[in-house]
Amino acid sequence: MTATIIDGKAFAEKVRGQVAAHVARLKADHGITPGLAVVLVGEDPASQVYVRSKGKQTVEVGMASFEHKLPADTAEADLVALVQRLNADPEVHGILVQLPLPSHLNSDLVINTIDPAKDVDGFHISNVGLLGTGQKAMVPCTPLGCLMLLRDHLGSLSGLNAVVVGRSNIVGKPMAQLLLGDSCTVTIAHSRTKDLPAVCRAADILVAAVGRPEMVKGDWVKPGATVIDVGINRVERDGKTKLVGDVDFASAAAVAGAITPVPGGVGPMTIACLLANTLTACCRANGLAEPEGLTA
Ligand code: NDP
């Protein structure tokens, strides 16, 4: 069997198109422009690339982008004060504080200062609780992107066995909650799981969010399963730096029914879902109908 390749790049473009169309209607019908504020502390090169890319795509879909770049030695009180100003700013509908923060700053405290209604990353403790109890939440972007790809590829997920490898707060746990919300039977695996290959082989849906290059092999995959590879790992191959996922793509694609590639799978969905979340937050703030198909 050779798997269908799930094209996250194309799907992300479609999501951005839907967001842009909805933003244009908001402007024309209500005079409202959704706004996203991104806060970057310090000069971490990867974070700078992400923030640039987020700002560019925000403007491309017709939203307002507000970038706040602060020096690495910013005091916690100053960062908290900025977040509080953004909470009170009516032109800002979404706030994202780029992680990781420098080590002298308390990430939990800063994230939990964000107004939950503007928490487009879905990391605020209130949104975590809302998602966990099946209520309307702001949902973390990467798992939301995975869910959209799965729904698009499989239709209903009801009754399917899903295995999520990884239990982080930003990917694994919210991913499991979303799959449960769509009535999958969910197993969360992690570094202490016994016989991980056998656990994975029971999955109709296998999500790998581990951070270990090509760990999941083809013989861990149930024939016909849908494999979502969240991993982004930089490895040296033949003297060049290459991006690979947490799944050994070649062997898994020979067994799976469908698989996301790295790059071009889950990665592009993350920013697309950030834009979708900003639009959703703006609609909720203004008591308007939410965009269809862009929320959990
Ligand atoms: P974390 O390091 O926070 O979590 C990794 C998880 O994997 C942990 O729960 C850990 O288990 C588990 N794990 C580690 N080693 C093993 C192992 N040998 N067997 C089974 N489980 C293991 O990572 P993140 O969740 O933040 O990220 C995961 C991957 O997704 C990374 O490659 C990251 O780059 C990528 N990523 C991609 C995004 C995108 O936009 N596409 C966005 C965010 C992340 P334990 O808890 O027991 O330690």
Confidence of residue 26 (pLDDT cuts 50, 70, 90): very high
The Cα 23–Cα 61 span in angstroms is: 7
pLDDT, residue 167, reads: 98
CA distance readout (Å), 273 to 54, 158, 203, 276: 11, 23, 25, 5
Sign, CA torsion 17/22/28/33: negative
Q: How far is the CA of 231 from the centre of ligand 1 (A)?
A: 7
What residues are in contact with ligand 1 under a 6 Å CB criterion?
Answer: 142, 165-168, 170-172, 189-193, 196, 209-212, 230-233, 246, 266-267, 270
What per-residue confidence (pLDDT) applies to 208? Answer: 99
Dihedral sign, Cα of residue 231, residue 234, residue 237, residue 240: positive
% of residues, the chain, pLDDT over 70: 100
- The model's pLDDT over 248-285, given as tens digits with 9 standing for 90+, comes to 999 999 999 999 999 999 999 999 999 999 999 999 99
Long-range contacts of 73-77 (CB under 8 A, 24+ apart): 73/102, 73/104, 74/41, 74/102, 74/105, 76/104, 76/105, 76/106, 76/109, 76/110
218 CB neighbour count, 10 Å cutoff: 17
pLDDT at 47 over 80: yes
- How far does the centroid of ligand 1 lie from the alpha carbon of residue 182, in Å? 22
Mapping DSSP to helix (H, G, I), strand (E, B) and coil, where does residue 94 land? strand
235 pLDDT above the threshold of 80? yes
pLDDT of amino acid 1 = 63
Q: pLDDT tens, 70-103?
A: 999 999 999 999 999 999 999 999 999 999 999 9
At 185, list the tokens: 């039977």
The residues that are catalytic are 54, 98, 121
What's the rounded mean pLDDT across residues 217-239? 97
Confidence of residue 150 (pLDDT cuts 50, 70, 90): very high
Instruction: List, in order of start, the domains of the chain with CATH numbers.
Output: 30-117 (3.40.50.10860), 141-268 (3.40.50.720)
Each residue's pLDDT tens digit, 7-17: 999 999 999 99
Q: How far away, in angstroms, is 209 Cα from ligand 1 center?
A: 4
**148, 167, 196, 210: residue to mutate for ligand 1 pocket, most atoms within 8 A of CB:** 210
Report how far residue 48's alpha carbon sits from residue 216's, in angstroms, rounded to the nearest whole number: 30
The predicted model gives 147-168 an average pLDDT of 98
CA–centroid distance, residue 14 to ligand 1 (Å): 27
Q: Which of 139, 163, 168, 235 to mutate to test the pocket of ligand 1 (most atoms within 8 A of CB)?
A: 168
Q: Determine the residue of 173, 190, 234 to mutate for testing ligand 1's pocket, defined as the one with the most ligand atoms within 8 A of the Cβ atom.
A: 190
Contacts of 200 by beta carbon, 8 Å cutoff, 6+ apart: 163, 165, 189, 206, 216, 220, 221, 222
What residue's CA is closest to ligand 1, atom 47? 191
Ligand 1: distance of its center to the CA of 125 in Å? 20
**pLDDT over 90 for what percent of the chain?**
99
* Model confidence at 119: pLDDT above 70: yes
Average pLDDT over residues 99-115: 98
Query: What pTM was estimated for this model as a whole?
Result: 0.98
Average pLDDT, the chain: 97
Q: Which H or E element spans position 237?
A: strand 233-237
Instruction: Report the nearest-CA residue for atom 39 of ligand 1.
Output: 267
Mean pLDDT of 111-117: 98
The number of C-alpha atoms within 13 Å of 192 and in the hemisphere containing its C-beta is 1
Ligand 1 atom with minimal separation from the 266 CA: 41
